[in-house]
Structure 1
Amino acid sequence: MDTILGPLYIAVSWIIVQFHSFYSLIFDKNSGAAWGLSIVSLVVLIRICLIPLFVKQIKSTRNMQALQPKMKAIQERYKSDKQRQSEEMMKLYKETGTNPLSSCLPILAQSPFFISLYQVLSHIAQNKTVGVIDQPLLESAQKAHIFGAPLAAKFMDSAEKIQSLGASVVDVRVVTIIMIVLMSASQFYTQRQLMTKNVDLTVKTPFMQQQKMLMYVFPIMFAVFGINFPVGVLVYWLTTNVWTMGQQMFVIRRNPTPGSKAFEERQERLRAAGKLVEDPAAVEAKQAAEEARQNRQQPKRQSKSQRQTGGAAPAGGAQNRTRAGSASGAGQGAAKKQSLEKKDAQDGKEKGGASGSRTAKSGQRKGQQRPKHPSKK
């Protein structure tokens, strides 16, 4: 490892020494401020050099979000043919100019510098010269403390080793725990900001689930590995997390992802400042939708009995209608009864007339005597 990364050890140690020479003009050369600010300046220099990769990472991330529906369609279409699926994916990446590895470029580019700084600080803790750091600079770096913790000390170091660096176990562990918590919190906030503000919520893709998972995985990784990092490396990683958070806040505010919450907020700011020219048809449609929303009447609240009867009128009205219906029904029944009685009377009269006529006829026949036949006389 030392042989492969030897040139980087020289480069990283040389940059730190140059910044240390500058800050020694302001602070004590053996102070933690001079050496700590040298490490912070190293981070800033590296991150400035990585800005083009960061811009490429943003574009790649957005392209991957936009391609998720098409990628899912390809996976469903060729789920039984993995080779054809891979070919179609590569074809899609080529047509759209998207590189899936672009989102990892800043981290990959930082990794060699991170490893080199870790090895430089480890050599300082072991009292070994490294790169351009000679013996006088080595002794000066060993005397540097940040809030009582030596730059080369770790959370897991023994009490004897920490005492050899001129510090106490309590100071080292308190400082390292605080820095690890700040590292994890800054990483979590950065990832959460990306998920809540700079993601198009109208498109539900597996990429969003991956980002949500990373939001919880990365802080846990920092907390686990941070206890094995020297204080100087914790300074490096905390600085780069803060830089990433500020850089992302700037990008989200000035160039948010279309369809995201940050994009809507930016549109409102531009609209309020009069810098946004919108389509008149879109403005009219928006105003009509807003007026319709304001004029929409909310349904009246109903009681439980009304909901059970399907939203019927109040109980008093129902009772009045019931009484009116009963009265009308009773009136109809009385009229029907009268008509039936009248009909029966008419039928009785007809029957009586018919029987009377038959009786009269029989009486007449009885009163009349047939004349006798002349021969019987």
Structure 2
Amino acid sequence: MRQKSVDDNKRNMITAILLSVAILIGWNFVAAEFFPTPDKPDVTRTVAGTNGAAPAATPGQPAALPAPGMPAPTTAQAIRPIEAVLAEGNRIPIDTPAIKGSINLVGARIDDITLSKYRQTIKKNSPPVRLFAPGGTKAAYFASIGWSAQGIAVPGANTVWTATGTKLTPTTPVTLSWTNATGQTFRIEYSIDANYLITAKQTIANMGAAPVNASSFALIDRLGIPTDPHEQDSYTIHVGPTGFLDGKTIIDTDYDDVEEAPNRSVRYNSGAWLGFSDKYWLAAVVPAKGERITAAISSPAANNYQTLFARDFTQVAPGKQVTTTSRIFAGAKEVYTLQRYENDQGITRLSNAIDWGWFEFFEVPIFKLLDWLFKQVNNFGVAIMALTLIIRLAMFPIAQRQFGSMAQMRLVQPKMKALQDRYKDDKPKMQQELMKLYKDEKINPLAGCLPILIQIPIFYALYKVLMLTIEMRHQPFILWIKDLSAPDPLHILNLFGLLPFTPPSILSIGVLAVILGITMFLQFRLNPQATDPVQQQVFKIMPWLFMFIMAPFAAGLLLYWITNNILSIAQQQWMYRKFPQLKAAPTT
């Protein structure tokens, strides 16, 4: 009876461990399927830029961060299609190899940006990804620059600017200008590179009779947040307000944190850049390198969010002018593009807009190797398989030691069984004798765990690379696998799409998941059979349990694991020839 009780306890413990693993790994997918985050309401408010006078200020005084002028809420019927708003004119086109769009001459806003190289879906005629949209449209999203000043009128959201230049391109800048009634002229010279960086030189020229104190600022204004569950903040991927502020990367502040903060604002004394990060896209405002600014992430109204920086007030004497430089990043979070802006433009830690997390030191080399392999073979699926082969080759010496240790364990199993039978009623004594046996036979019982422990960070790094980097987005493999960063689209439960329903994610068993289960099952059959009947049962269940756990993951991850299993099976067969004493009859 005592032995039966021990076996029951072992069985219960192993079952609990398996269930815990399943819950920990699969929870995000179950939660996304059955407990989705409620959609935010549609945006029904247009935020104006700053307008009006700032509080009294003296030169050198830090700027009071301007608060946007908030007009009365509009009705839901006032929200118009983007095409209708853009058709109203008063715009300067933007045309580069990477982005298309326009600058609104009303308010000098950059509020129309689409990304030419990226499509919304994998469908052939899918439109390009839209990053910025003008005010008055659903989920408006734009960048603005402006001034605060004492005692004079400054340009605001409804100011109509005069343009010099007809199109903003990498070779043709555009200058906007506006003059108030007291003789101050405000100019914005926009220029753009071939990628995603817009530079705005802000000049205030004082042609009036008295000096003026002015402060310039730049902001990103966002109405609403992404409602797609895959584009929302999670434990592994930060989506929301971000930046390099007060000497650190901000990835722990989300939209709710801003709304719940005092005065609905989180303020900072310094910053290199700040904005909003989506899974693959970034909109950020960037001061000049080393420039003294104050910054804030705020929510001036419900479902409205801003990131803003402002400079100290500066006195502009009559007949003089002051120029400051702001930059706006609006584009895709391409790893090498962000790194180039870090190095060439001096934008501190801009590449941290990609939420690598604690294991950046390991994930970035995995990405760079995978990206290099892709450039050699021109197929990310093949590149993932090649990466798996490289990892297996690097781990081959470790695997040899693992198999050698397993062979030694196999040889001493009769002695171990004898000790277990002799001390079955005295567990401490049995453990003591087993440890002595391991020492006498020079066996490390944990050697077999080392390859598994090494695989965990590799698997996690590949998971982050596939989930985070836009270079993997919409990358096809073969046949039905059109996007390696998305789950397998063929589900067995709906007969591969023949039945008109989509199974919940926990039951979305695709072809790759079945292949994963089969290869894991074959791999376990080649392992020496466990002497403990409970362990035998666990090894029979594990392949099919992991089939369900891994099914909702990206197809690229399953491809990695399948390739790894196949290489493991081949390596096991080779090692069995070297250690024939290791091979045992397959489990049944």
TM-score when scaled to structure 1?
0.51
Deviates more, 1:70-79 or 1:47-56: 70-79
Structure with higher Rg: it is 1
The alpha carbon displacement at 1:178 in A equals 1.4
Of 230, 243, 250, which residue of structure 1 is paired with 2:554?
230
CA distance in 2, matches of 1:15, 1:245: 25
Structure-1 residue corresponding to 2:374: 20
Q: Deviations over 1:288-316 (max 9, x none)?
A: xxxxxxxxxxxxxxxxxxxxxxxxxxxxx
Find 1:153's aligned residue among 486, 490, 498. Answer: 486
2:563 maps to a residue whose letter is: T
1:114 aligned partner: 459
Deviation sequence 1:220-251 (CA, Å, 0-9, x none): 12211121210000110010011011111222
Change (3 A) 1:37 1:86: same
CA-CA distance at 1:216 after TM superposition = 1.4
3-state SS of 1:154 partner: coil
Q: Does 1:71 align with 2:416?
A: yes
- Per-residue CA distance 1:328-362 (angstroms, 9 max, x = gap): xxxxxxxxxxxxxxxxxxxxxxxxxxxxxxxxxxx
Alpha-carbon spacing, 1:36–1:156, altered in 2? closer, same or farther (3 Å): closer
Q: What SS does the aligned partner of 1:4 have? A: helix
1:142 counterpart = 2:474: yes
**Is 2:388 the counterpart of 1:43?**
yes
CA distance in 2, matches of 1:140, 1:85: 52
Aligned pair 1:219/2:543, yes or no? yes
RMSD (Å), alpha carbons: 3.4
Structure 2 unmatched runs, 5+: 1-235, 237-355, 491-501
CA contact (8 A) 2:380 2:475 kept: no
Is the 8 Å Cα contact of residues 35 and 141 (structure 1) preserved in structure 2?
no
- For structure 1, list consecutive stretches of 5 or more residues without a partner in the other structure: 25-33, 124-128, 130-137, 158-168, 200-204, 263-377
Aligned-partner SS, 1:229: coil
Residues 94 and 214 of structure 1: is their aligned pair in 2 closer, same or farther, counting only changes over 3 Å? same
1:6 aligned to which of 360, 374, 381: 360
Contact 2:488 2:512 in 1 (8 A): no
Match of 1:181 among 514, 518, 522: 514
Cα-to-partner distance string for 1:10-44 (whole Å, 9 max, x where unaligned): 121111011112123xxxxxxxxx11111111111
**What is the Cα deviation at residue 192 of structure 1?**
2.1
2:286 corresponds in structure 1 to: none
1:117 CA displacement: 0.6
1:1-377 alignment, distance < 5 Å: 2-24=356-378, 34-123=379-468, 129=469, 138=470, 141-149=473-481, 150-155=483-488, 177-194=510-527, 206=531, 209=533, 212-257=536-581
Change (3 A) 1:234 1:261: closer
Amino acid at match of 1:153: A
SS in 2 for 1:94: helix
**3-state DSSP of counterpart to 1:206:** coil
Q: Deviations over 1:98-127 (max 9, x none)?
A: 11111222122111100111111111xxxx
- CA distance in 1 between partners of 2:361 and 2:538 (Å): 33
Compute the displacement of 1:48 (Å): 0.6
**Percent of matched pairs sharing the same residue:** 29
Distance 1:38 1:259, change over 3 A: closer
- Do the aligned residues in 2 keep the contact of 1:9 with 1:117 (CA within 8 Å)? yes
Q: Give the partner amino acid of 1:148.
A: W
Counterpart secondary structure, 1:147: coil
Cα distance in 1 for partners of 2:438, 2:366 equals: 36
Q: Which has the higher helix share?
A: 1
Distance 1:210 1:101, change over 3 A: farther
Alignment-mate amino acid for residue 233 of structure 1: L
CA change 1:46–1:90 in 2 (3 A) is same
What amino acid does structure 1 have at the position aligned with 2:519?
S
The answer on whether the counterparts of 1:60 and 1:98 sit within 8 Å (CA) in structure 2 is: yes
- 1:186 Cα deviation after fit: 1.5
- Give the CA deviation at 1:212: 3.6
Q: Deviations over 1:45-94 (max 9, x none)?
A: 11111111211121222222222332233334344443333222211111
Deviation by residue 1:135-159 (Cα, 9 ceiling, x = unmatched) = xxx25642435423311112599xx
Change (3 A) 1:82 1:146: same
User: Are the equivalent residues in 1 in contact too, given 2:518–2:543 (CA < 8 A)?
Assistant: yes
Give the whole-Å Cα distance in 2 for the aligned partners of 1:221 and 1:261.
23
Q: Aligned partners of 1:20, 1:87: CA distance in 2, in Å? A: 52
Look up the SS of the partner of 2:474 in the other structure. Answer: helix
- The one-character-per-residue Cα deviations of 1:166-195 (angstroms, maximum 9, x if unpaired) are xxx79x99x971111111111212222345
C-alpha separation in 2, matches of 1:6 and 1:23: 25
Contact 1:20 1:38 in 2 (8 A): yes
Distance 1:225 1:104 in 2: 21
Separation in 1 of the partners of 2:448 and 2:457? 17
Tell whether the 8 Å contact from 1:154 to 1:176 is kept in structure 2 after alignment.
no
For this pair of structures, how many residues does the alignment match? 220
For CA contacts below 8 A with separation 6 or more, give which structure has more relative contact order: 1
In structure 2, the CA distance between the partners of 1:218 and 1:117, relative to structure 1 (3 Å rule), is: same
Separation in structure 1 between the aligned mates of residue 407 and residue 535 of structure 2, nearest angstrom: 13
Q: Residues of 2 paired with 1:185 and 1:245: CA distance?
A: 12
Are 2:489 and 2:510, in contact at CA under 8 Å, matched by a contact in 1?
A: no
Residues 73, 40 of structure 1: alpha-carbon distance in 2 compared, 3 angstrom cutoff: same
Q: Secondary structure at the match of 1:142?
A: coil
